[in-house]
Amino acid sequence: MSDVAVSVKGLTKIYGHKTVVDAIDMEVPAGSIYGFLGPNGSGKTTTIRMMCGLLTPDAGEGHTLGYDIQKQAREIKERVGYMTQKFSLYTDLTIRENLDFMARMYRLPNRKKVVTRTIEELGLSGRGNQLAGTLSGGWKQRLALAAAMQHKPQLLLLDEPTAGVDPKARRDFWDEIRRLSKEGVTILVSTHYMDEAIQCDNIAYIAYGKLLIHGPAREIPARVGLTTWRVDGPDLIPLEDELRADPRVEQVARFGAQLHVSSTNAKALEELVAEQRKKDKQHRWVKKEAELEEAFIYLMTTAADNFTPNGEAKP
Amino acid sequence: MNLFSLSRFRAVLVKEFIQMRRDRLTFAMMIGVPVIQLLLFGYAINNDPRNLPTLLELGEESKVARAVVSGMDTSDYFDFQGFVFGPDAGDKALREGSANFVVVIPPDFERDILRGLSPELLVTADASDPTAVGSAVAALSGIVETAIAQTLDGPLTAVAGRPPPFSMVVHKQFNPEGRTATNIVPGLLAIILAMTMVLITAVAIVRETERGTMETLISTPVRSTEVMLGKILPYVLIGYVQTLLFLIMAKILFNVPFEGSRMAFFVGFNIYVVVNLALGFLISTLVHTQMQAMQASFFLILPTILLSGFMFPFAGMPGWAQAIGTAIPATHFLRIVRKIMLKGAQMADIAIDLRAIAIIGGMIVLIALLRYRRTLD
């Protein structure tokens, strides 16, 4: 095995007249947790589907676990675990029947034992005969993850696995992901949540089908190059309006009772802060470390200016 | 008081029309079904079929015999297709369905008429479809009498006039009592299987796509043939149960005989079921929801009932309708079932129908496999 789990070049998918995925180059290092971020309809799901051979790209090429994504889809499928965005096991089968079905699909030896162990590891012993459809959202996700992991894949593709799941279940889910990563499984996970993005080793950000930035998570804010000041105090709304109108401010984002004011031009922003401090004693300005969230909002906004979206992309 | 808001009512009304227009299949059904029904009922269906294929067994070559033949031929109920020699050949043609009538003019027919011996003119009719042959049989006696009367000149004038100088024996074969149930029940099996097998398969497969489980399924290394066979086999078994139940009830409740070869039935039945399941599979590749799958199946069942010869005699339909009917698998299975149950057909007698079903089935499977892809695009 090379040290690259997934590598794609110029990956493109077109539905009708809409380019859903536009010439994406990406490399997922083996053994890493790779976060795949981007707004809804940005092409994350389509990209993941192409990586595991479910969709044929219209242009570009790629290899997953060393196999050609166009010609060796079957080899890839044998070695990849894929968890869909929507729960897609059989709701009218029991937990055990679902796991048994998946075990048969991958022709696992000692099927009965494997399934029993999976159920035990899930902590669902004694509930194996419960219908999968009656599980709560969090448990459904864990079951789907267990089903995708049963054949011990080298690569796990998770498509928004925690969407609509409560915070406790989300935390448990990520504990499980980190445990799998320690065992050497490469994980590509798409998400909307910043607290999840921070837990990734590497991050790629995609919007309107284009890959805007990718790299190690901690380097992303610096690469975007934003300087951010945090403001708190009373009556933030008029201040927010005033700051938005100022050409030296590129981005104002509200976080709870604070405003995060950002710009790529650190000097201009410092001038503004000095002016504000002089005329307005109510608000407190503190320079802060740039974080992922501001960086992504910034990327999103500039991307929106560059590519006018024509309607919602196909999921 | 605001008991009824016109604005809200209009909102619902407009929304309903928008949704109706968006669901193109439903829309097509609403417009298509009445149009197709009208065309089928109006043009294709004819309960007084003409030009029924007829064979002739000629015991003598005489003026009277020729007159009978040409009289029947010009009546346009009958369409003379050729001659047979010996009773076995005639029976075989009737059993295979290549002829609806066999007319036997015995030797010395003309001489016996002259002698006033009232010879027998034997007409064997395939009564397994009583509607198809009924009116022709009814008209037969008059046609033959007129034809003979016209030839009775010269030395024959002596015997002209009443009573008719011959007796006509009509032998209704396969369903001597002309019972409708005997005709309908075997045909019904073909229709019931077509209805349930196509629908069940289509719905079962579309359910995977509709619920999203297809995505998990195809993310595994599974092959399309494995999915197709695995999904279809349970429904083949259901087809077995249906048919067994059906045959038992046909015997007990309607006393429909089962004269022919069980083996031939078994072979024909299996091929037919597979073809119907493949058709269901094909539908599933064309629609997106279970609802659409049901609509599409319903859309197919209409011509199956009307053009297969189940409800209305196949021979009575115009050429274009027969062409459509020939492309429907039920048309051929219906013939197989009637032949075997009522006419005592053996494997050789149904070979032609088996071949037709196999050809149709092969084409359906081919298209279905081309339509079904392992990828999602």
- If you count them, how many residues does chain B have? 377
Q: What are the φ/ψ torsions at residue A313 (nearest 5 degrees)?
A: -75, 160
What kind of architecture, by CATH, is found in domain A4-221? 3-Layer(aba) Sandwich (3.40)
- For residues B240 and B289, state if they share a domain: yes
Which alpha helices (H) appear in chain B, and where do they start and end? 6-22, 24-39, 63-74, 87-96, 109-114, 130-151, 180-211, 213-219, 224-254, 262-286, 290-307, 319-326, 329-343, 347-371
What pLDDT is attached to residue A309? 46
> How much is the pLDDT for A2?
63
Residues 268-287 of A with CB under 8 A from B: none
The two structure tokens encoding residue B282: 């094909």
- Tell whether B24 is covered by a domain: no
Q: Is B128 part of any domain?
A: yes
Domains in chain B: how many in total?
Answer: 2
Res A311: pLDDT: 40
Q: What are the CB-based long-range contacts (under 8 Å, 24+) for A176-180?
A: A176/A142, A176/A145, A177/A33, A178/A33, A180/A149, A180/A156
Q: What is the pLDDT, as a whole number, of residue A310?
A: 45
Q: Are residues B364 and B292 in the same domain?
A: yes
Q: Do residues B156 and B190 both lie within one domain?
A: no
Q: Give me the residue label for tokens 């993310």.
A: B219
Percentage above 90 pLDDT, chain B: 19
Quick one: B319 and B185 in the same domain?
yes
Residue B149 lies in a domain: yes
Which amino acid would we find at residue B294? M
Would you say residue B37 lies in a domain? no
Domain that holds residue B342: 180-371
Q: Which residues of B touch A (CB under 8 A)?
A: 211-222, 374-377
Same domain, B187 and B303: yes
CB contact under 8 Å between B216 and A84, yes or no, is yes
Partner residue opposite A77 with nearest CB, options B213, B221, B376: B221
Residue B47 has pLDDT above 50, yes or no: yes
CA B68 to chain centre: 31
User: Which residues are registered as beta bridge partners of A254?
Assistant: A259
pLDDT of res. A312: 40
Give CA separation, B45 vs A12, A172, B52, B247, in Å: 54, 68, 15, 29
Say what the pLDDT of residue B190 is. 92
**CB contact (8 A) between residue A52 and residue B213:** no
All residues of chain A having their beta carbon less than 8 Å from the beta carbon of residue B219 are: 52, 54, 77, 80, 82, 84
Range A15-19, long-range pairs (CB < 8 A, 24+ positions) = A15/A313, A15/A314, A18/A310, A18/A311, A18/A313, A18/A314, A19/A209
Q: Residue A18 has which token pair?
A: 């809409």
Mean pLDDT (whole number) for B162-170: 74
For residue B34, tell me if it sits in a domain: no
pLDDT score for B158:
56
Residue B89's domain is classified under what CATH number? 3.40.1710.10
DSSP letters for B189-208: HHHHHHHHHHHHHHHHHHHH
| CA A213 to each of CA A50, B105, B112: distance values in angstroms, whole numbers, following the listed order | 20, 95, 106
Contact B343, B128 (CB under 8 A): yes
- Shared domain check, B125 and B73: yes
pLDDT in tens, A214-226: 888 888 888 888 8
Residues B103 and B236 in one domain: no
- In Å, the largest CA–CA distance within chain B is 101
Instruction: Give domain limits for chain A.
Output: 4-221, 227-289
- What is the reported pLDDT for B375? 47
| Closest chain B residue to the Cα of A85, Cα to Cα | B212
In this predicted structure, the answer to whether residue B109 has a pLDDT above a threshold of 60 is yes
Q: State which of B128, B155, B173 marks the end of a domain.
A: B173
Q: Which of B212, B220, B377 sits opposite A106 (nearest CB)?
A: B220
Kindly determine whether residue B215 and residue A54, on different chains, have CB atoms separated by under 8 Å.
yes
Q: Tell me whether strands B167-173 and B120-126 are parallel, antiparallel or unpaired.
A: parallel
In a domain, B242, yes or no: yes
Residue B133 domain-assigned (yes or no): yes
Cβ contact B243:B193 at 8 Å: yes
Q: Which CATH class is domain A227-289?
A: alpha beta
| Helices marked H in A206-310 | 220-224, 236-245, 266-279, 292-306
Q: What confidence score (pLDDT) does residue B265 get?
A: 94
Contact B376 A91 (CB under 8 A): no
- pLDDT for the residue A314: 36
Average pLDDT, chain B: 85
Nearest by CB to B216, from A49, A53, A88: name it: A88
Q: Do B305 and B197 share a domain, yes or no?
A: yes
Domain boundary among B155, B173, B191: B173
The 10s digit of each residue's pLDDT in A7-46 is 999 999 998 888 999 999 999 999 999 999 988 888 899 9
First to last CA, chain A: 32
Tokens of A290: 């740039």
Domain boundary among B120, B152, B173: B173
Instruction: Write the pLDDT tens digit of every residue in B230-272.
Output: 888 888 898 999 999 999 999 999 888 888 899 999 999 999 9
Residues B65 and B213 in one domain: no
Q: Looking at the complex, does the CB of residue A56 fall below 8 Å from at least one CB of chain B?
A: yes
pLDDT at residue number B377: 54
Residues B230 and B346 in one domain: yes
- Output phi, psi for B350, to 5 deg: -105, 5
Whether B40 is in a domain gets the answer: no
Q: What pLDDT, on a 0 to 100 scale, did the predictor assign at position A186?
A: 95
ipTM: 0.79
Residues of chain B positioned with their CB less than 8 A from the CB of A74: 221
Residue by residue, pLDDT tens for chain A (315 residues) are 468 999 999 999 998 888 999 999 999 999 999 999 988 888 899 999 999 988 899 999 999 999 999 999 999 999 999 999 889 999 999 999 999 999 999 999 999 999 999 999 988 888 999 999 999 888 999 999 999 999 999 999 999 998 888 888 899 899 999 999 999 999 999 988 888 888 899 999 998 888 988 888 888 888 888 889 999 888 888 888 988 888 888 888 888 888 999 988 888 988 988 888 888 888 899 988 878 888 888 887 877 665 544 444 333
Axis-axis angle for helices B224-254, B347-371 (nearest 10): 140
Tell me the one-letter amino acid at B48: D
Q: Are residues B78 and B160 in the same domain?
A: yes
